[in-house]
Amino acid sequence: MHVILLGSAAGGGVPQWNCGCANCRAARERGAGRTQSSVAVSADGERWLLLNASPDLRHQINAHRALWPRASRASPVRAVVCTDGEIDHTLGLMLLRESASRVPVYAPAAVVSLLGAEWPLIRVLASYTGVEPRELPDGRPTALADSAGAPLGITCTAVALARRPPRYARAAAPAVFDVALRLVDDRSGGVLAYAPTAAAVDGAVASVARAADLLLFDGTFWSDGELRAAGVDAPAAREMGHLPVGGPGGGLDALPRLGAKRTVLVHVNNTNPMLGEDSAERRQVEAAGLEVGDDGMEFEL
Ligand code: MLT
Ligand code: MN
Ligand code: ZN
């Protein structure tokens, strides 16, 4: 399985348009930013799946030859899997509106319903070529397929994570609004575990990460009070559904025990001090045997 980390940043990216923090200033000065959270996956190197559709999708496709169209209106992007209905993971669906055929979008049932109602992407896109929502059942392996039903050679199991509905749908009835994914290459047996938003390293995360070749995990915040310390009027990281990387009981404590061969932190917020390559936090990540994800990282599983 070929895996490209298209975007390693959380919502807002790095630099974020309205942020002048040290990380955002450094990214502007160096001209080296990070785009918003998304991953591309392919079993055959020809037909690709997007894991989440970022607002930076157009730039991300342009940055990777493997995702360039082979002919007029012939994109190698064959389907999208959404782990949640957050804006930073779904807005990119709008950018696929020129598609020549309906784009299959796999997502948990409650997310499909959000995208038809509170955040009506599916309804709006219906006036263009449209997307074809396909519900991911909880815990049952699904063979992913393109719009014509041809298998893509990857089997996906979605496992429910405990997180609140997105901010735009706080009143929604309780349901599964976030999942972690376990993607298996049917031929090589390579396993990718993907959990870009997770409030805990719990049984659900352990089940997708078990013996995985690669775990891409939530690295949004270093500490619980990080956003507030940066002057943003916001809840703590855990309240937002993001397990902090550092501190007691944080990701650095729990992730190495899961047994994934390689663990890379993704969905990193622009306030996270581990973005600094010479920071003490970056050294702690490396000492724990983990890595900070970067745009364009590629993996073969
Ligand atoms: C999240 O990752 O928690 C969301 O994307 C936050 C948001 O942008 O509202
Ligand atoms: Mn997010
Ligand atoms: Zn910033």
Strand order in the sheet with 131-135: 131-135, 103-107, 77-81, 48-51, 38-42, 2-7, 298-300
Among residues 8, 166, 17, 160, which one has the least CA distance to residue 87?
A: 166
Pocket test for ligand 1, best of 37, 38, 86, 226 (most atoms within 8 A of CB): 86
- Mutation to probe ligand 1, out of 8, 16, 87 (largest number of atoms < 8 A from CB): 87
* Distance in angstroms (rounded) separating the CA atoms of residues 14 and 8: 9
Nearest to 37 by CA among 269, 285, 214, 298: 269
The ligand that comes nearest to the alpha carbon of residue 24 is 3
- pTM of this prediction exceeds 0.85: yes
State the closest ligand 1 atom to the C-alpha of 220, by its place in the atom list counted from 1.
2
pLDDT in tens, 224-244: 999 999 989 999 999 999 999
Contact present, 204 and 180 (Cβ < 8 Å): yes
Taking only the tens place, the pLDDT of each residue in 97-128 is: 999 999 999 999 999 999 999 999 999 999 99
| CA-to-CA dists, residue 143 to 56, 84, 93, 166, angstroms | 27, 19, 21, 27
The percentage of residues in the chain with a pLDDT greater than 90, rounded to a whole number, is: 98
Atom of ligand 1 nearest to the CA of 88: 5
pLDDT at 223: 98
**Which tens digits make up the pLDDT trace of 147-195?**
999 999 999 999 999 999 999 999 999 999 999 999 999 999 999 999 9
Residue nearest to atom 9 of ligand 1 (CA): 167
The residue behind tokens 């949640």 is 84
